[in-house]
Every structure is written in C-alpha cells, then in structure tokens.
C-alpha cells in the first residue's frame, strides 16, 4: 500500500489531521540538536554553563526550549495545540566539544509530541546561537533530529 501525506486532502490542499477517533495514550518524544562552537566560545565554559553579558547561556536556552515546545502549534501551521504534561531540556558538551541539546516532551493525548520536542531543541539551539554570537558568528547548528517517540500508532527509535 502506497503511503500518503496525512496533511493533504485528496485534491492536494493542506488540512489538519482529524484525531477525533484516536485513542488517548501517553506519548513521549525526544529530539536532539547539535551545535558546533569555536574554541574561543568553549573556553568560556565554567560551572556547567557559559556566562555572557546576556546571562547564563545554557539556563536561558533551557527556558527558551521549554517555551518553544509549548508554542509549537503557534509556529507550525498544522500542529494540534497540546497542553504538554512535561518538557525537559538538557544541555551538555560532548567529547567532540559540541553542544548537545536533548529535549523530551510528553503528553497524554490523541496525537504525538515529536514536533514539540523538535521545536524545543531548535529554539534552545537558536538561543545559544543568539547568546554566543558576540564572541563569534562561526557557530553551526549541525543537526536537529528525532531520537525516539512512543505511544502512538507506531514507535520510533533512531539506531
């Protein structure tokens, strides 16, 4: 059977997916963003954060990521508005000296929270860019990806 895009009518116009008949289940999604920073910026890292004139970068990005996840349906036109039950953003520096942002979102509902997790990770990454650009514009948001989702019609986990 050929897969079809869920957000299109048979004539090709955009539509919101009708979730009226779906069962409510606990849904969880985890997304990740990876940022490349210059060594000049990484050298500013102390006490598990980077301090700037604008404030602590990671703490600010965590708050921005949570706020972004909560506002997903305002940013992505066909997303259902969800009252998130939980959203957590964790930020750390990996062995390759990259910033890693993990965003987990969960809800008990009829539709998944992948877009909320992806938006949270994206907004956190953009916040880090904004707060660190005074040191250097040589900052790369390398990737944003879904790591895992559970609770819907099908589960997914990146290998």
pLDDT in tens, 98-134: 999 999 999 999 999 999 999 999 999 999 999 999 8
List Cβ neighbours of 108 (8 Å cut-off, separation of 6 or more).
Answer: 24, 25, 26, 27, 85
> Which domains, ranges and CATH numbers included, belong to the chain?
39-151 (3.30.70.640)
Q: Which residues of 122-150 are buried (b: 16+ CB within 10 A; e: fewer)?
A: bbbbbbbbbbbeebeeebebeebebbbbb
- Coil/strand/helix, residue 44: coil
Q: Which pLDDT value is given to residue 54? A: 80
- The reported pTM is 0.91
Whether the per-residue pLDDT at 11 is higher than 90: the answer is: no
Retrieve residue 70's tokens.
């909560």
Q: What is the pLDDT of residues 20-31, one digit of tens each?
A: 888 999 999 999
* Radius of gyration, alpha carbons of the chain: 18
Residues designated catalytic: 130
Q: What is the pLDDT of residues 38-84, one digit of tens each?
A: 988 888 877 778 877 788 999 999 999 999 999 999 999 999 999 99
Short-list 102, 109, 105, 100, CA closest to 117: 105
């Amino acid at each position: 059977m050929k897969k079809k895009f869920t957000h299109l009518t048979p004539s090709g116009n955009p539509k919101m997916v009708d979730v009226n008949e779906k069962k409510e289940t606990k849904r969880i999604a985890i997304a990740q963003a990876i940022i490349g920073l210059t060594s000049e910026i990484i050298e500013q890292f102390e006490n598990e954060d980077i301090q700037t004139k604008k404030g602590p970068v990671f703490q600010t990005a965590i708050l921005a990521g949570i706020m972004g996840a909560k506002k997903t349906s305002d940013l992505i036109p066909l997303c259902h508005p969800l009252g998130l039950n939980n959203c957590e953003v964790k930020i750390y520096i990996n062995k390759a000296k990259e910033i890693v942002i993990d965003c987990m979102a969960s809800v008990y509902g009829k539709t998944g929270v992948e877009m909320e997790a992806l938006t949270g990770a994206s907004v956190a990454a953009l916040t880090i860019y904004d707060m660190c650009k005074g040191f250097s514009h040589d900052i790369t948001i390398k990737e944003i990806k879904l790591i895992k989702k559970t609770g819907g019609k099908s589960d997914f986990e990146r290998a």
